[in-house]
Structure 1
Amino acid sequence: MDQEFRLELRLVIVPIESGDDERVLALTQQSTSAVGSIVDVDIKPYAKPPGSCIVRVEANCTGSHQSVVERVVGLVGGSGWDFSGSGEEFEAIWFPQSGAIPPVSVLTTWMQVQTIPMRALPPSRRLRG
Protein backbone atom coordinates (compact mmCIF):
# COMPACT_ATOMS: atom_id res chain seq x y z
CA MET A 1 0.00 0.00 0.00
CA ASP A 2 1.31 3.45 -0.92
CA GLN A 3 1.96 5.84 1.95
CA GLU A 4 2.63 9.55 1.97
CA PHE A 5 6.24 10.43 2.76
CA ARG A 6 8.59 13.40 2.61
CA LEU A 7 11.14 13.52 -0.17
CA GLU A 8 14.24 15.60 0.60
CA LEU A 9 16.86 16.58 -1.90
CA ARG A 10 20.03 18.24 -0.59
CA LEU A 11 22.86 19.52 -2.73
CA VAL A 12 26.07 21.48 -2.29
CA ILE A 13 27.01 23.85 -5.08
CA VAL A 14 30.22 25.87 -5.31
CA PRO A 15 30.01 28.99 -7.50
CA ILE A 16 32.76 29.18 -10.13
CA GLU A 17 33.49 32.86 -9.48
CA SER A 18 32.37 35.55 -7.05
CA GLY A 19 28.92 36.95 -7.79
CA ASP A 20 27.83 33.58 -9.17
CA ASP A 21 25.43 32.86 -6.27
CA GLU A 22 22.31 34.21 -8.01
CA ARG A 23 22.99 32.18 -11.16
CA VAL A 24 23.57 29.01 -9.13
CA LEU A 25 20.35 29.51 -7.13
CA ALA A 26 18.37 30.15 -10.34
CA LEU A 27 19.84 27.01 -11.94
CA THR A 28 18.97 24.97 -8.85
CA GLN A 29 15.40 26.28 -8.74
CA GLN A 30 14.91 25.51 -12.42
CA SER A 31 16.39 22.01 -12.09
CA THR A 32 14.36 21.05 -9.03
CA SER A 33 11.02 22.80 -9.65
CA ALA A 34 9.41 19.50 -10.66
CA VAL A 35 10.23 18.06 -7.23
CA GLY A 36 9.35 20.77 -4.72
CA SER A 37 10.47 24.17 -3.57
CA ILE A 38 13.66 25.44 -1.99
CA VAL A 39 13.12 25.71 1.75
CA ASP A 40 16.62 26.36 3.05
CA VAL A 41 19.83 27.60 1.46
CA ASP A 42 22.19 26.98 4.38
CA ILE A 43 21.71 23.81 6.41
CA LYS A 44 23.79 23.11 9.49
CA PRO A 45 25.54 20.90 10.61
CA TYR A 46 26.42 19.67 7.09
CA ALA A 47 30.02 20.50 6.18
CA LYS A 48 30.42 22.54 3.04
CA PRO A 49 33.34 23.96 1.08
CA PRO A 50 34.07 27.69 1.56
CA GLY A 51 31.89 29.83 -0.70
CA SER A 52 29.44 27.01 -1.39
CA CYS A 53 25.68 27.01 -1.09
CA ILE A 54 23.74 24.12 0.48
CA VAL A 55 20.23 23.84 -0.91
CA ARG A 56 17.43 21.66 0.45
CA VAL A 57 14.33 20.94 -1.58
CA GLU A 58 11.47 18.93 -0.12
CA ALA A 59 8.07 17.71 -1.25
CA ASN A 60 5.34 15.40 -0.01
CA CYS A 61 5.03 12.29 -2.20
CA THR A 62 2.96 9.13 -2.40
CA GLY A 63 4.06 5.87 -3.94
CA SER A 64 7.08 3.62 -3.95
CA HIS A 65 10.00 5.24 -2.14
CA GLN A 66 12.52 3.61 -4.47
CA SER A 67 10.63 4.60 -7.64
CA VAL A 68 10.34 8.23 -6.53
CA VAL A 69 14.06 8.46 -5.69
CA GLU A 70 14.97 6.87 -9.01
CA ARG A 71 12.72 9.34 -10.89
CA VAL A 72 14.36 12.29 -9.12
CA VAL A 73 17.83 10.96 -9.91
CA GLY A 74 16.71 10.66 -13.55
CA LEU A 75 15.51 14.28 -13.47
CA VAL A 76 18.68 15.77 -11.98
CA GLY A 77 20.98 13.56 -14.06
CA GLY A 78 24.60 12.74 -13.47
CA SER A 79 26.27 9.37 -13.03
CA GLY A 80 27.98 7.57 -10.17
CA TRP A 81 25.04 7.52 -7.73
CA ASP A 82 25.00 5.11 -4.76
CA PHE A 83 21.53 3.78 -3.84
CA SER A 84 20.56 2.23 -0.51
CA GLY A 85 17.58 1.40 1.68
CA SER A 86 14.29 -0.38 1.23
CA GLY A 87 10.66 -0.18 2.24
CA GLU A 88 9.87 3.10 3.98
CA GLU A 89 13.27 4.75 3.53
CA PHE A 90 15.35 4.92 0.41
CA GLU A 91 18.15 7.24 -0.68
CA ALA A 92 20.63 8.01 -3.42
CA ILE A 93 23.89 9.85 -2.76
CA TRP A 94 26.22 11.41 -5.30
CA PHE A 95 29.71 12.67 -4.52
CA PRO A 96 32.74 13.30 -6.74
CA GLN A 97 34.40 10.09 -7.84
CA SER A 98 36.46 8.94 -10.79
CA GLY A 99 34.52 9.19 -14.03
CA ALA A 100 31.28 10.39 -12.39
CA ILE A 101 29.22 13.12 -14.07
CA PRO A 102 27.79 15.71 -11.61
CA PRO A 103 24.01 16.02 -11.29
CA VAL A 104 22.24 19.39 -11.81
CA SER A 105 25.43 21.14 -12.97
CA VAL A 106 29.21 20.89 -12.98
CA LEU A 107 29.07 23.10 -9.89
CA THR A 108 27.58 20.31 -7.74
CA THR A 109 30.00 18.79 -5.22
CA TRP A 110 27.59 16.57 -3.22
CA MET A 111 23.92 15.58 -3.47
CA GLN A 112 21.48 13.39 -1.57
CA VAL A 113 17.92 12.34 -2.42
CA GLN A 114 16.13 10.71 0.53
CA THR A 115 12.65 9.60 1.53
CA ILE A 116 11.48 10.03 5.13
CA PRO A 117 8.28 8.53 6.59
CA MET A 118 5.93 11.28 7.78
CA ARG A 119 5.77 9.81 11.28
CA ALA A 120 9.57 10.21 11.57
CA LEU A 121 9.32 13.98 11.03
CA PRO A 122 8.77 16.37 13.93
CA PRO A 123 5.12 17.60 13.96
CA SER A 124 6.19 21.11 12.92
CA ARG A 125 7.71 19.75 9.68
CA ARG A 126 4.84 17.45 8.69
CA LEU A 127 2.78 20.35 7.35
CA ARG A 128 5.39 21.49 4.83
CA GLY A 129 5.57 20.19 1.35
Structure 2
Amino acid sequence: MDSQPSGNPHRARTASTQGRVGRVSRARRTRRSRRSFARMLTERQGERLPRWIDAGRQDDLPSLHSLAAGIDRDRDAVIAGLTLPWSSGVIEGHVNRIKMLKRQMFGRAGFHLLRKRVLLYT
Protein backbone atom coordinates (compact mmCIF):
# COMPACT_ATOMS: atom_id res chain seq x y z
CA MET A 1 0.00 0.00 0.00
CA ASP A 2 1.19 3.49 -0.86
CA SER A 3 0.77 6.05 1.92
CA GLN A 4 1.47 9.01 -0.40
CA PRO A 5 -1.57 10.81 -1.87
CA SER A 6 -1.85 10.59 -5.61
CA GLY A 7 -0.76 13.59 -7.67
CA ASN A 8 2.04 16.06 -7.27
CA PRO A 9 2.07 17.59 -3.74
CA HIS A 10 4.09 20.57 -5.02
CA ARG A 11 1.37 21.36 -7.56
CA ALA A 12 -1.32 21.18 -4.84
CA ARG A 13 0.66 23.56 -2.62
CA THR A 14 1.18 25.94 -5.53
CA ALA A 15 -2.54 26.06 -6.29
CA SER A 16 -3.30 26.63 -2.62
CA THR A 17 -0.71 29.40 -2.43
CA GLN A 18 -2.09 31.04 -5.57
CA GLY A 19 -5.56 30.96 -4.04
CA ARG A 20 -4.27 32.66 -0.89
CA VAL A 21 -2.40 35.27 -2.93
CA GLY A 22 -5.57 36.02 -4.88
CA ARG A 23 -7.59 36.44 -1.66
CA VAL A 24 -4.93 38.72 -0.16
CA SER A 25 -4.80 40.78 -3.33
CA ARG A 26 -8.60 41.09 -3.35
CA ALA A 27 -8.58 42.10 0.33
CA ARG A 28 -5.96 44.77 -0.36
CA ARG A 29 -7.92 46.18 -3.29
CA THR A 30 -11.10 46.21 -1.20
CA ARG A 31 -9.31 47.98 1.65
CA ARG A 32 -7.82 50.54 -0.75
CA SER A 33 -11.25 51.26 -2.24
CA ARG A 34 -12.85 51.45 1.20
CA ARG A 35 -10.22 53.91 2.43
CA SER A 36 -10.59 56.02 -0.68
CA PHE A 37 -14.36 56.14 -0.17
CA ALA A 38 -13.93 57.02 3.54
CA ARG A 39 -11.52 59.83 2.64
CA MET A 40 -14.02 61.13 0.10
CA LEU A 41 -16.73 61.16 2.81
CA THR A 42 -14.69 62.76 5.57
CA GLU A 43 -13.12 65.40 3.35
CA ARG A 44 -16.44 66.06 1.56
CA GLN A 45 -15.03 65.53 -1.93
CA GLY A 46 -18.15 64.62 -3.89
CA GLU A 47 -16.53 65.53 -7.19
CA ARG A 48 -14.38 62.38 -6.86
CA LEU A 49 -17.42 60.08 -6.70
CA PRO A 50 -17.84 59.40 -10.45
CA ARG A 51 -14.18 58.34 -10.74
CA TRP A 52 -14.53 56.13 -7.66
CA ILE A 53 -17.65 54.45 -9.07
CA ASP A 54 -15.94 53.82 -12.42
CA ALA A 55 -12.88 52.36 -10.69
CA GLY A 56 -15.13 50.14 -8.56
CA ARG A 57 -16.91 48.80 -11.63
CA GLN A 58 -13.63 48.01 -13.40
CA ASP A 59 -12.25 46.09 -10.42
CA ASP A 60 -13.17 42.43 -9.90
CA LEU A 61 -14.86 42.97 -6.52
CA PRO A 62 -18.59 42.06 -6.49
CA SER A 63 -19.26 43.91 -3.24
CA LEU A 64 -18.00 47.14 -4.79
CA HIS A 65 -20.10 46.51 -7.89
CA SER A 66 -23.30 46.37 -5.83
CA LEU A 67 -22.32 49.44 -3.77
CA ALA A 68 -21.46 51.39 -6.92
CA ALA A 69 -24.76 50.40 -8.53
CA GLY A 70 -26.70 51.51 -5.46
CA ILE A 71 -24.93 54.85 -5.29
CA ASP A 72 -25.28 55.36 -9.02
CA ARG A 73 -29.08 55.09 -8.82
CA ASP A 74 -29.15 58.39 -6.96
CA ARG A 75 -25.80 59.85 -8.00
CA ASP A 76 -26.83 63.53 -7.96
CA ALA A 77 -28.19 63.34 -4.41
CA VAL A 78 -25.09 61.52 -3.14
CA ILE A 79 -22.76 64.05 -4.76
CA ALA A 80 -24.82 66.90 -3.29
CA GLY A 81 -24.66 65.27 0.15
CA LEU A 82 -20.89 64.96 -0.13
CA THR A 83 -20.24 68.49 -1.35
CA LEU A 84 -22.89 70.84 0.05
CA PRO A 85 -22.45 72.24 3.58
CA TRP A 86 -26.05 71.58 4.69
CA SER A 87 -26.98 68.55 6.73
CA SER A 88 -30.28 66.94 7.70
CA GLY A 89 -28.69 65.19 10.68
CA VAL A 90 -30.74 67.06 13.29
CA ILE A 91 -34.00 66.24 11.54
CA GLU A 92 -32.97 62.60 11.15
CA GLY A 93 -32.26 62.48 14.90
CA HIS A 94 -35.75 63.75 15.71
CA VAL A 95 -37.34 61.27 13.29
CA ASN A 96 -35.32 58.44 14.86
CA ARG A 97 -36.42 59.49 18.36
CA ILE A 98 -40.09 59.66 17.34
CA LYS A 99 -39.90 56.22 15.73
CA MET A 100 -38.32 54.83 18.91
CA LEU A 101 -41.16 56.30 21.02
CA LYS A 102 -43.72 54.85 18.62
CA ARG A 103 -42.11 51.38 18.85
CA GLN A 104 -42.06 51.57 22.65
CA MET A 105 -45.73 52.43 22.79
CA PHE A 106 -46.98 50.00 20.13
CA GLY A 107 -50.15 48.34 21.39
CA ARG A 108 -50.05 50.12 24.76
CA ALA A 109 -51.72 53.45 24.22
CA GLY A 110 -53.42 55.55 21.62
CA PHE A 111 -52.34 58.45 19.51
CA HIS A 112 -53.09 61.06 22.22
CA LEU A 113 -50.52 59.65 24.66
CA LEU A 114 -47.97 59.26 21.85
CA ARG A 115 -48.53 62.91 20.92
CA LYS A 116 -48.00 64.00 24.53
CA ARG A 117 -44.75 62.01 24.81
CA VAL A 118 -43.42 63.43 21.53
CA LEU A 119 -44.26 67.00 22.56
CA LEU A 120 -42.88 66.45 26.07
CA TYR A 121 -39.42 65.60 24.71
CA THR A 122 -39.30 68.52 22.27
If the length of structure 1 is used for normalisation, what is the TM-score?
A: 0.28
Bigger Rg, structure 1 or 2: 2
* Structure with more helix by fraction: 2
Greater RCO structure (CA 8 Å; 6+ sep)? 1
